[in-house]
């Protein structure tokens, strides 16, 4: 008995010998030169062009995630490039593989939390009561609220006030952003230490303001970091550190197994 075929269909676009149509637009003439790279990302996620406020906000969100100096993803890209300089794409790919639940996953976690707590934007909701409920629920499960606090940036993640400022300027300081802040304030109160909204929490909330599926929020970090990793590979190609990192770590990590050297040597 033959298998019943399902359809195979994309609505992103098609091309022929003389034209490329993407998201219903004439790609060369209506998109190239009109959209910047962040706008193109917005188009990929929504199927439409951003308005000026959306463009500014979305670009700020992704630019936030491009670069943070020497991160694990940057080290991974550099150490991969050391072994396979023929494959810049493999070095970037390797670096992106680490953008999981621990790092950019908190964007996804924050967005999911916010959507589950407030499935639709209804401005008259009691955000304070919702925040108490969220924090209680996480506390009772012994779970960590995503998007608040930061291991290094204390007490305040310096990216957060700036993202909020841009949100105010572009009209994105809506109920999801306010709820995320209320959750952070409540968590600080309950834990007795400052747990302010961090950059991923703000970005997760802004993803909700823009109506993105929570499942795709991690994608903002992935597309952004690809840009930053190319920068790290460029620096690695000019002023390498990967080989020295490898040797130093190998020496430290295996020291306890090595035979002690004679003192007189």
Interacting residues with a second copy between 167 and 186 (CB under 8 A):
169
Q: Which is nearer to a second copy, 25 or 178 (CB)?
A: 25
Please identify which residue in 114, 145, 159, 214 interacts with a second copy, judged by CB under 8 A.
159
CB of 232 to a second copy, least distance (A): 7
Tell me: does residue 153 bind a second copy (CB under 8 A). Answer: yes
The span of 15-23, 117-125, 175-183, 203-211 binding a second copy (CB under 8 A) equals 15-23
Enumerate residues 6+ apart whose C-beta is below 8 A from 43: 23, 31, 35, 49, 50
Residues 223-252 that bind a second copy (CB under 8 A): 223-224, 226-228, 230-235, 237, 239, 241-252
Cα distances (Å, whole numbers) of residue 157 to 1, 141, 174, 202, 218: 60, 26, 20, 10, 19
Tell me: does residue 118 bind a second copy (CB under 8 A). Answer: no
The span of 130-138, 158-166, 173-181, 190-198 binding a second copy (CB under 8 A) equals 158-166
Please identify which residue in 120, 141, 142, 253 interacts with a second copy, judged by CB under 8 A.
253
Please identify which residue in 27, 128, 174, 191 interacts with a second copy, judged by CB under 8 A.
27
Tell me: does residue 29 bind a second copy (CB under 8 A). Answer: yes
Enumerate residues 6+ apart whose C-beta is below 8 A from 205: 110, 111, 114, 147, 176, 177, 179, 180, 197
Residues 59-78 that bind a second copy (CB under 8 A): 59-60, 62-64, 66-73, 75-76
Tell me: does residue 194 bind a second copy (CB under 8 A). Answer: no
Considering only CA atoms, which of 187, 139, 164, 134 is closest in space to residue 57? 164
3-state secondary structure of 23: coil
Are 205 and 113 in contact, with CB atoms under 8 Å apart? no
Please identify which residue in 143, 154, 168, 193 interacts with a second copy, judged by CB under 8 A.
154
Only one residue has tokens 């999981």, namely 100
Q: Which is nearer to a second copy, 86 or 122 (CB)?
A: 86
Provide the 8-state DSSP code for 186.
H
Are 205 and 110 in contact, with CB atoms under 8 Å apart? yes
Q: Which residues are bridge partners to 13 per DSSP?
A: 22
């Amino acid at each position: 008995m033959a298998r019943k075929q399902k359809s195979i269909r994309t609505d992103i676009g098609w091309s022929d010998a003389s034209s490329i149509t993407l998201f219903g637009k004439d790609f060369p003439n209506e998109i190239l030169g009109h959209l910047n790279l962040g706008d193109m990302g917005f188009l990929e996620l929504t199927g439409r062009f951003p308005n000026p406020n959306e463009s500014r906000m979305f670009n700020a969100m992704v630019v936030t995630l491009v670069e943070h100096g020497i991160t694990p993803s940057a080290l991974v890209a550099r150490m991969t490039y050391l072994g396979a300089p023929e494959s810049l794409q493999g070095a970037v790919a390797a670096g992106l593989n680490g953008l999981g639940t621990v790092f950019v996953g908190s964007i996804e976690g924050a967005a999911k939390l916010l959507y589950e707590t407030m499935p639709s934007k209804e401005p008259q909701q009691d955000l304070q009561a919702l925040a108490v409920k969220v924090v209680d629920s996480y506390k009772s499960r012994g779970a960590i609220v995503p998007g608040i606090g930061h291991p290094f940036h204390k007490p305040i993640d310096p990216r957060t006030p700036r993202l909020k400022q841009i949100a105010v300027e572009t009209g994105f300081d809506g109920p999801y952003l306010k709820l995320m802040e209320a959750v952070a304030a409540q968590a600080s109160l309950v834990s007795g230490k400052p747990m302010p909204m961090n950059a991923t929490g703000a970005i997760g909330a802004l993803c909700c303001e823009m109506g993105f599926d929570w499942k795709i929020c991690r994608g903002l970090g992935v597309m952004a970091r690809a840009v930053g990793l190319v920068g790290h590979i460029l620096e690695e190609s000019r002023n390498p550190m990967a080989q020295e990192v490898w040797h130093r770590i190998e020496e430290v990590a295996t020291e306890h197994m090595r035979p002690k050297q004679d003192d007189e040597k």
